[in-house]
Structure 1
Amino acid sequence: MSFTLFPDTRAALATDSLAGLSVGDARGAGHGPPWRWTDDTEQACCLVKALTDDDGLDRDHFADLLGRHFDASRGYGSGAVVMLRQIREGTPWPIAAAAAFDGQGSAGNGAAMRAAPLGAWHADSLVHAATEGARAAEVTHAHPEGIAGAVAVTVAAAVAAAARLEGQPVDLLGAVLAHTPHSRVRDSLGRATTIRTAAEAAHELGNGTRSLALDSVPFALWVAAHHLDDYPGAVQACIAAGGDMDTTAAMAGGVVAAYTGADGVPGEWLRAREPLPDWVTG
């Protein structure tokens, strides 16, 4: 990238991405207005709060925020509830994350669904975005596939935000492939480059039904790549595919809003979304 970002600009880019993520999440969750957001948004708020408090990612602070603010009624999986309660009660996050799923670590999509604002924050360096995407994922996801999914979404949002700032066309999936570690997630992203329709993408890549990074990240990024200037179209494509609609719409929405800015999110959708918590907006 050929530009340098100042802290206020980083925060503004991350906030725009958070708006897109949270509206996609809340609309995808399918509740009537006000649209209630889920754990996707709650975790993304913790990530944005950690970034803005420290002008970068302090993982101990991020873990503390996750443990302090998690609300099990927001739709967390049972494994995440156990882990975050452990962190809240004082277990160091590396131990809690490594112990998940009988010591395999989580391969789920939790780290990916919160990651887009982190990518927007690092729009000036895809290498740094990938590194920080992995570091942020490791707070809760010790499995390589969970980490790879988070890196992919982080890089995608960084690419999108950079394209917005530079006014240049972008090969989003190509850039993501170049920075995602070797994994089944990366293999699936490679297949995504040959797919033409959303229905084919959902069929071939998955729509999040298994709540894994593997079956949600490639589809969400296919949607983002094909609707990069059309936020409503991206969210509606995720909803039409079914499955874990709030999560795929959160990922795609966070990436697309990094490109369009919050102005790309329909105002009536923003007003219909439940307000974000005071501790992140204040």
Structure 2
Amino acid sequence: MSFTLFPGTRLALALDSLAGLSVGDALGAQYFVPGNKPADLLEARTPAPLWDWTDDTEQACCLVATLDEGDFDRDAFADRLGAVFEPYRGYGPGAVVMLRQIREGLPWPIAAAAAFNGQGSCGNGAAMRAAPLGAWHADSLPHAALQGVRAAEVTHAHPEGIAGGVAVSVAAAFAAASRLNGHKPDPGQLLLAVAAHTAPGVVHDGLTTAAGLTGSLAEAAERLGSGGQATAQDTVPFALWVADRYLEDFPAAVAACVVAGGDVDTTAAIAGGVVAAYTGIEGIPEDWLAAREPLPAWLAAASGE
């Protein structure tokens, strides 16, 4: 990397990524509502506002509010997650139990380790919130990976769940760095960079497979999965394939996630957060930003925005 980031720049990059994540999440969630047709989005016809965001955005807001110089403060992040989470936002049953335990005072390492009968969660929760953290660390992919581990471990003790958070953090760091350097990556370059900083396992293997896919959206969704199992393994490689393919085109990236089906709010949140780290908030259609439910009022005060 050939640049120095100051705290204000880091926050601006993280907020751009959060904007993309939250719009992708909120718009993607509308396609779980009967009557909203994914094909309409290809013709730039979007559902009527207001687009409510889900747990993807709520957790990402908690993450952004915790960002600071130095190591990511896991205790503060856990406390914030436990304090503000709203179960109706779409949290899975396991996440609701864990966050209630944290809210009631159980230390997060114990709560995270106990999930899924002691296996820890390999769900996509750590990944869906991670892009702003990566954008904050655009000056160092290794540091983005390290902090991605720290942020993921608060709720995900399973190696694949952690790997998903790391992969998205590194992808957003790579995208933001490319923006700051004025460099347009070649196809597959983002995915290879992410794989190089992701621990061996199923997520890593999916990333390397994704880097070699040059076919259609349908082929990518079939080969990689599109979040239907709600695990990092079948969510992250596809979402980052979309981000790599449509890095300069935020609407196309979100539309690809929606048309592919699966866990569309989460894949669109991940891809949207990474793509916005590259395009900036200027790449997000103004009417889409206006249609998204406003972010929580406590975020501005907590993040110093």
Question: What is the TM-score with the length of structure 2 in the denominator?
Answer: 0.91
Q: Which residue of 1 aligns with 2:124?
A: 109
Identity rate, percent: 69
Question: Which SS does the other structure have where 2:231 is aligned?
Answer: coil
Question: Which SS does the other structure have where 1:11 is aligned?
Answer: helix
Q: Which residue of 2 aligns with 1:33?
A: 49
Distance 1:56 1:121 in 2: 12
Q: Deviations over 1:86-129 (max 9, x none)?
A: 00000000000000000000000000000000000000000000
Q: Which residue of 2 aligns with 1:180?
A: 198
Distance 1:22 1:55 in 2: 25
CA contact (8 A) 1:50 1:56 kept: no
Q: Deviations over 1:62-85 (max 9, x none)?
A: 000000010000000000000000
2:59 to 43, 52, 58: 43
Query: Alpha carbon RMSD of aligned pairs, Å?
Result: 1.0
In the alignment, residue 87 of structure 1 is paired with which amino acid? Answer: I
Distance 1:13 1:183 in 2: 30
Question: Which SS does the other structure have where 1:124 is aligned?
Answer: coil
Q: Which residue of 2 aligns with 1:191?
A: 209
Distance 1:81 1:252 in 2: 25
How far residue 195 of structure 1 moved from its aligned partner, in angstroms, is 1.3
Q: Which residue of 2 aligns with 1:252?
A: 271
CA contact (8 A) 2:71 2:147 kept: no
2:165 to 147, 150, 154: 150
Q: Which residue of 2 aligns with 1:9?
A: 9
In the TM superposition, 1:134-145 aligns within 5 A as 134-145=149-160
Distance 2:200 2:116 in 1: 22
In the alignment, residue 203 of structure 1 is paired with which amino acid? Answer: E
Count of matched residue pairs: 281
How far residue 211 of structure 1 moved from its aligned partner, in angstroms, is 0.3
CA contact (8 A) 1:116 1:251 kept: yes
In the alignment, residue 143 of structure 1 is paired with which amino acid? Answer: H
Distance 1:279 1:123 in 2: 25
CA contact (8 A) 1:109 1:217 kept: yes
> Are 2:62 and 1:62 aligned?
no
Distance 2:109 2:2 in 1: 35
Structure 2: runs of 5 or more not aligned: 34-47
How far residue 203 of structure 1 moved from its aligned partner, in angstroms, is 0.5
CA contact (8 A) 2:192 2:207 kept: no
Question: Which SS does the other structure have where 2:155 is aligned?
Answer: coil
> Are 2:114 and 1:95 aligned?
no
CA contact (8 A) 2:21 2:273 kept: yes
Q: Deviations over 1:182-208 (max 9, x none)?
A: 110000111111212211110000010
Runs (4+) of structure 1 exceeding 3 A deviation are none
How far residue 55 of structure 1 moved from its aligned partner, in angstroms, is 6.6
Question: Which SS does the other structure have where 1:91 is aligned?
Answer: coil
In the TM superposition, 1:219-230 aligns within 5 A as 219-230=238-249
How far residue 169 of structure 1 moved from its aligned partner, in angstroms, is 2.7
Question: What is the TM-score with the length of structure 1 in the denominator?
Answer: 0.98
In the alignment, residue 207 of structure 2 is paired with which amino acid? Answer: L
